[in-house]
């Protein structure tokens, strides 16, 4: 059974893994180093198995979720050692299957069916390789590509994801402000009608008071001279 995992949860899992691997400040971590020396301390019994290309006929790599292993083609391993973009994404994707606790053997092939778990692993790879807190500083895919050593396509997709997250965050913030204004508006009506009355009172302009509020009222009156009476803000 496929478990639904939200993008937010996946971002958390990826961030947590970066924390545990002590690479929070690393833009482009060496995945081979992580897989060979570090991941075993986080994922019990983890092993990276390098096999000849022909032994993984239909996949560049595959994760075995019950054994906690990742099998990788020799050529992909070598490519990742040279920081090759595609190989890095492939390996991060397979790590995703393990840390998201998927089930079974997950081959990474071009023909793999687009299941929910594949989508989750793909999203994990993006979150792990280009974490939000670092990637959000970039405005162009080319810069993301260079900083995180990922492919152009992967960088462009991440940039779109970040833009989507930003839009949602802004919308949330706007909703919060709109609600606050709505809650506060009854008080504003009262305050503004008092202000309106004060301004209309005889002698207001010549008031000798030097209190800040009077000054402010007097000033706001002058700037609104041609638009009396003052109307409550909606
Ligand atoms: Zn996969």
Strands of the sheet with 47-51, listed across from one edge:
47-51, 69-73, 61-64, 105-108
Q: Tell me the pTM.
A: 0.74
Two structure tokens written together for 54: 């022909």
Map out the domains of the chain with their CATH numbers. Answer: 7-129 (3.30.2010)
Q: How far is CA 127 from CA 48, 120, 123, 174, 226, in A?
A: 21, 10, 6, 26, 56
Cα(94) to ligand 1 centroid in Å equals 6
Cα(168) to ligand 1 centroid in Å equals 28
Cα(142) to ligand 1 centroid in Å equals 26
Which of 83 and 231 is assigned the larger pLDDT?
A: 83
pLDDT in tens, 78-108: 999 999 999 999 999 999 999 999 988 887 7
Cα(70) to ligand 1 centroid in Å equals 11
Cα(105) to ligand 1 centroid in Å equals 9
Two structure tokens written together for 16: 């947590």
pLDDT in tens, 171-229: 988 888 888 888 888 777 777 777 778 777 776 665 555 454 555 555 555 554 444 45
**Rounded CA gap, 134 and 88, in Å?**
18
Q: Give the largest Cα separation in the chain, rounded.
A: 96
């Amino acid at each position: 059974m496929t478990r639904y995992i939200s993008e937010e949860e996946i971002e958390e899992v990826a961030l947590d893994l970066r924390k545990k691997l002590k690479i929070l400040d690393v833009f482009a971590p060496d995945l081979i180093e992580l897989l060979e020396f570090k991941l075993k301390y986080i994922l019990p019994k983890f092993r990276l198995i390098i096999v000849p290309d022909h032994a993984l006929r239909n996949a560049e790599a595959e994760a075995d979720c019950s054994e906690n292993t990742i099998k990788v083609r020799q050529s992909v391993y070598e490519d990742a050692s040279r920081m090759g973009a595609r190989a890095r994404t492939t390996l991060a994707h397979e790590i995703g299957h393990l840390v998201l606790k998927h089930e079974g053997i997950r081959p990474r092939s071009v023909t793999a069916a687009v299941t929910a778990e594949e989508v989750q692993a793909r999203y994990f790879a993006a979150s792990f390789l280009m974490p939000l807190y670092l990637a959000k500083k970039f405005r162009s895919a080319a810069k993301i590509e260079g900083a995180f050593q990922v492919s152009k396509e992967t960088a462009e997709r991440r940039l779109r994801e970040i833009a989507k997250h930003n839009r949602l965050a802004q919308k949330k913030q706007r909703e919060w402000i709109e609600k606050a204004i709505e809650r506060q508006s009854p008080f504003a009506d009262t305050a503004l009608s008092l202000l309106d009355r004060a301004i209309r009172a005889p002698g207001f302009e010549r008031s000798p008071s030097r209190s800040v509020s009077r000054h402010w009222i007097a000033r706001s009156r002058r700037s609104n001279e041609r638009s009396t009476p003052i109307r409550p803000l909606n």
